Structure 1
Amino acid sequence: MKEEISRYKELGDFLKTRRAKISPLQVGLPEGSHRRTPGLRREEVASLSGIGITWYTWLEQGRDIQVSSQVLESLSRVLMLNDDEIRHLYTLANQNSPVDIPPYHHDVNPMLQRILDSLSLSPSMIFDTRWNIIAWNRAAELTMLNFGEIDIAQRNYIWLIFTNYKFKELFHNWDNQAQGLVARFRAECGKYIEDPWVTEFVQKLKKESKEFDKWWSMHDVENEKGNYKIFNHSILGELTFEHTSFFVADNMNLKLFVNAPAPDTDTEVKMKKLMSLS
């Protein structure tokens, strides 16, 4: 019993010290002039992680509460933990460390962001192995969603396409698009299928979406390949893109997804108009 109390206190103290090391500017929050302590506030960590402030406060206080691997994943992102810190966090929480899946990357090399930004008429994003959206360009923000306004815990492409109504409405022939996406996601995470994050993510999404539950249970798989995507934009109407993906050369755990305006359509003209208005 004493060992458990000590473990929970150690976990709470560890979270406090990691929180103190992150400046508001690092996570896109204003610095402010009335902060009494360095780093992020508890409520900021809770909000960015997608968990309740009361529950997070109890966690820092060292209370005897169970922590899921999905919550630990979110905290790892927000607190920008390195590999050693992630393993330590999981150990303190009595969870198996996600050693199989490559660690989440909170941001990307500035050069990669510049490449994204240079694709000014092509909505483009960079995903990690878990299909978390970790970087995007202005074109993606204007045609899809403002990903910067979405809690980092929910900024996952698979999660959004099944749970975000606005995102769902964007896709022409959503059923076929989403079903193919499930097959590609299953193929991608097959080698990590025993990882606790995969199990929790799938179970949670099956509860949120009857379509995901149905298609996941079919066990279909397919590899990523080039295809066409048609978006139903609320202002511009129909947009047709040639969709393709590339591994990032210096980090094969990251993928660049590009949607280029399809030739012989008016998509390029519409994208130029959209970008000129922003």
Structure 2
Amino acid sequence: MADPRRVEFGDFLRSRREKLSPKTVGLPAGRRRRTAGLRREEVAQLAGIGVDWYIRLEQGRTVSPSVTTIDALARALRLSKAEHAHLKALARDGARGAFTREIVPPPIRRMIASLHQPAYVTGRRWDVLAWNEAAEDIFAFGQLPEQDRNTLLLVMTNKQMRKFYGATWTEVAKSMVAMFRATHDVWAGDPAFAELLTRLRQGSPEFVKWWEAHDIRSTMSGLKTMNHPTRGLLRFEHTSFQANDDPALKLVIYTPVEGGD
């Protein structure tokens, strides 16, 4: 059975190849093309590798490309920094245990409880594991069943959350899908991630469309505007930090900005 990570590696290569035109990479258009994007042999030529070797990579076979090959593919496919890092992550060998839900250490729980700004902690699967009163006031995590406390699941499938983000929902949701793609692909084939992916596919047609695009984006700080049902328009700058206790844990803090409540 093919390694799910290798399959995602090949699918990612194909998705980037199909987004490029010969003109973009300085190649002649040549004869009429039946499909969009570059041909496999053109990518191999640009990367300086054998066509058969490249085809095996795109087919997700069990081959181990070197760092030099990964870098050459990144240049050939005009990958962004985030996409390049994603390709490297998918190419890494090594056994990985099954996903288990993380536990937030008491000192971290006490720290977020002491903050006045909305703050919460998520795990590798983007499950919300701990939050403070300010975050409860905004997101009402405590009113949800534990299995629904997942930031991507909330944004993509919860109707109230869609109203919450209003006109900015599409931008927020699409960015989150691209960021989650980078996490998911490393855990491809894991039952916990597969279960979440099934729920997302069943609950959101937009998710299905954006997921198939295989876009990758790194986690970034930014501004979010929200339409709270009782507090009205809120504006926050959000940023995140990894915990030294467990790098799988991510602390997210929302800081009110001028013009919000």
Shorter-chain TM-score category? 0.5 to 0.7
Deviations 1:148-168 (A, max 9, x none): 221111211111112221222
1:251 counterpart SS class:
coil
Per the normalisation by structure 2, the TM-score is 0.60
Q: Does 1:140 align with 2:162?
A: no
Q: Match of 1:108, as an amino acid?
A: V
**Alignment match, 2:111:** 115
| RMSD between superposed Cα atoms in Å | 1.7
Deviations 1:84-122 (A, max 9, x none): xxxxxxxxxxxxxx95455212x42221112112221x2
Structure 1 gap segments, 5+ residues each: 1-97, 271-278
**Alignment match, 1:160:** 154
After superposition, residues 195-274 of structure 1 pair within 5 angstroms as 195-262=190-257, 265-267=258-260, 270=261
1:250 counterpart SS class:
coil
Flag as ranges the 4+ runs of structure 1 deviating above 3 A: 98-102
Deviations 1:49-98 (A, max 9, x none): xxxxxxxxxxxxxxxxxxxxxxxxxxxxxxxxxxxxxxxxxxxxxxxxx9
The separation in 2 between residues aligned to 1:257 and 1:152, in whole angstroms, is 19
Q: Match of 1:157, as an amino acid?
A: T
Q: Match of 1:150, as an amino acid?
A: L
Identity across the alignment (%): 34
The separation in 1 between residues aligned to 2:250 and 2:143, in whole angstroms, is 22
1:223 counterpart SS class:
coil
The separation in 2 between residues aligned to 1:253 and 1:101, in whole angstroms, is 14
CA contact (8 A) 1:100 1:192 kept: no
Cα distance change, pair 205–154 in 1 and its aligned pair in 2 (3 A): same
Q: Match of 1:148, as an amino acid?
A: G
**Alignment match, 1:3:** none
**Alignment match, 2:90:** none
Deviations 1:14-69 (A, max 9, x none): xxxxxxxxxxxxxxxxxxxxxxxxxxxxxxxxxxxxxxxxxxxxxxxxxxxxxxxx
2:230 counterpart SS class:
coil
CA contact (8 A) 2:104 2:249 kept: no
Q: Match of 2:213, as an amino acid?
A: M
CA contact (8 A) 2:164 2:228 kept: yes
CA contact (8 A) 2:99 2:192 kept: no
Equivalent residues, number: 166
The separation in 1 between residues aligned to 2:143 and 2:96, in whole angstroms, is 30
Structure 2 gap segments, 5+ residues each: 1-94
Deviations 1:200-256 (A, max 9, x none): 321231121101111111101100011111111122221111111000111101100
**Alignment match, 1:33:** none
Q: 1:197: Cα distance to partner?
A: 2.3
CA contact (8 A) 2:152 2:176 kept: yes
CA contact (8 A) 2:128 2:151 kept: yes
Q: Does 1:150 align with 2:144?
A: yes
The separation in 1 between residues aligned to 2:97 and 2:226, in whole angstroms, is 35
The separation in 1 between residues aligned to 2:105 and 2:197, in whole angstroms, is 30
Cα distance change, pair 197–102 in 1 and its aligned pair in 2 (3 A): closer
1:185 to 175, 180, 183: 180
2:214 counterpart SS class:
coil
Per the normalisation by structure 1, the TM-score is 0.56
CA contact (8 A) 2:243 2:251 kept: yes
2:226 counterpart SS class:
strand
Q: 1:129: Cα distance to partner?
A: 0.4
**Alignment match, 1:104:** 101
